[in-house]
A and B are shown apart, each in its own frame.
Chain A
Amino acid sequence: MDVLYFAWVRERIGIPKEKIDTEAATVADLVRELVAREERYAAAFADLSALRVALDQELSGFDAPLTGVREVAFFPPMTGG
């Protein structure tokens, strides 16, 4: 699946987008996988309450299942307007 990062999450991880092969069942499982990979992911995901997640461009939650999901995006709370 495609995993996208925005704003300071993108800056901490160092890339805007990557393809990830995963068996993770939920968003939280995917986060655990990423955090275990490298320090930059651990830094980006240190405080999940400061993060939001979208699945296939719809806001979702960290306990949501990833079944059938093609695009996951992680970002801080939005500041539009």
Chain B
Amino acid sequence: MRVSVQEEPFDLGAEANRFAEGDTGSGAIVTFTGVVRDLAQGNLDVMEIEHYPGMTEKAIAAIADDARQRWSLADVLVIHRYGQLAPGDRIMMVATAARHRKDAFEAAEFLMDYLKSRAPFWKKEISGEGSDWVAAKDEDEAALDRW
């Protein structure tokens, strides 16, 4: 299992290859990538991501441990960036490896649902119009209920 909270960009292909390498027991690898979405008006200049150093790493590790208890997983990878990002930049990725795809898919969805509402990150959208903190959505909180 690897958790990385980092400011610098990551290479999606290289990370996915490294994650898959040498694992002959897993028949399924699922990866999810989160990308900075532009505003509806197409004028997002910067997405600034703030986090809580120390708690972030612990919270993500706890979520990943929880996933490993619930599903039969060979490995888990979580990379999440902070700092200043531009539209189209990759914010984060999750990868899961399992013998069978159901475990890999479900665990990846679980990780995403929990990272969204339980990992201490906050996003601010900065455009020519000003800046706004992205508000948490009720549906993101509700998404946790299904687990």
Instruction: Please state if B55 and A54 are interface contacts (CB–CB under 8 Å).
Output: yes
Give chain B interface residues in 25-60, CB to chain A under 8 Å: 34, 50, 52, 54-55, 58-59
Instruction: Please state if A54 and B120 are interface contacts (CB–CB under 8 Å).
Output: yes
User: Complex: how many Å from CA A47 to CA B142?
Assistant: 21
Instruction: Please state if A81 and B120 are interface contacts (CB–CB under 8 Å).
Output: no
Instruction: Please state if A80 and B116 are interface contacts (CB–CB under 8 Å).
Output: yes
User: Complex: how many Å from CA A77 to CA B133?
Assistant: 11
Residues of A at the B interface (CB closer than 8 Å) are: 4, 6-8, 54, 57-59, 73, 75-81
A6-B122, A54-B120 given as contacts; is B54 within 8 A of A79 (CB)? no
User: Complex: how many Å from CA A57 to CA B133?
Assistant: 22
Nearest-Cβ distance from residue A80 to partner chain B, whole angstroms? 4
Cβ contact of B54, chosen from A8, A57, A81, cutoff 8 A: A57
Residues of A contacting B79 in the complex (Cβ-Cβ under 8 angstroms):
none
User: How many residue pairs at the A-B interface have CB separations less than 8 Å?
Assistant: 68
Nearest-Cβ distance from residue B102 to partner chain A, whole angstroms? 22
Residues of B at the A interface (CB closer than 8 Å) are: 34, 50, 52, 54-55, 58-59, 80, 91-92, 112, 115-124, 133-136, 141
Instruction: Please state if A8 and B133 are interface contacts (CB–CB under 8 Å).
Output: yes
Nearest-Cβ distance from residue B126 to partner chain A, whole angstroms? 13
A7-B50, A54-B52, A73-B55 given as contacts; is B92 within 8 A of A79 (CB)? no
Instruction: Please state if B136 and A7 are interface contacts (CB–CB under 8 Å).
Output: no
Cβ contact of A78, chosen from B34, B58, B112, B117, cutoff 8 A: B117
Q: Which residue of A lies closest to B57 (CB)?
A: A57
User: Complex: how many Å from CA A54 to CA B124?
Assistant: 21
Instruction: Please state if A75 and B122 are interface contacts (CB–CB under 8 Å).
Output: yes
Instruction: Please state if B115 and A81 are interface contacts (CB–CB under 8 Å).
Output: yes
Instruction: Please state if B117 and A77 are interface contacts (CB–CB under 8 Å).
Output: yes
Instruction: Please state if B52 and A79 are interface contacts (CB–CB under 8 Å).
Output: no
Instruction: Please state if A7 and B122 are interface contacts (CB–CB under 8 Å).
Output: yes
A6-B50, A7-B50, A59-B118 given as contacts; is B123 within 8 A of A79 (CB)? yes
Residues of B contacting A6 in the complex (Cβ-Cβ under 8 angstroms):
50, 52, 120, 122
Instruction: Please state if B55 and A57 are interface contacts (CB–CB under 8 Å).
Output: yes
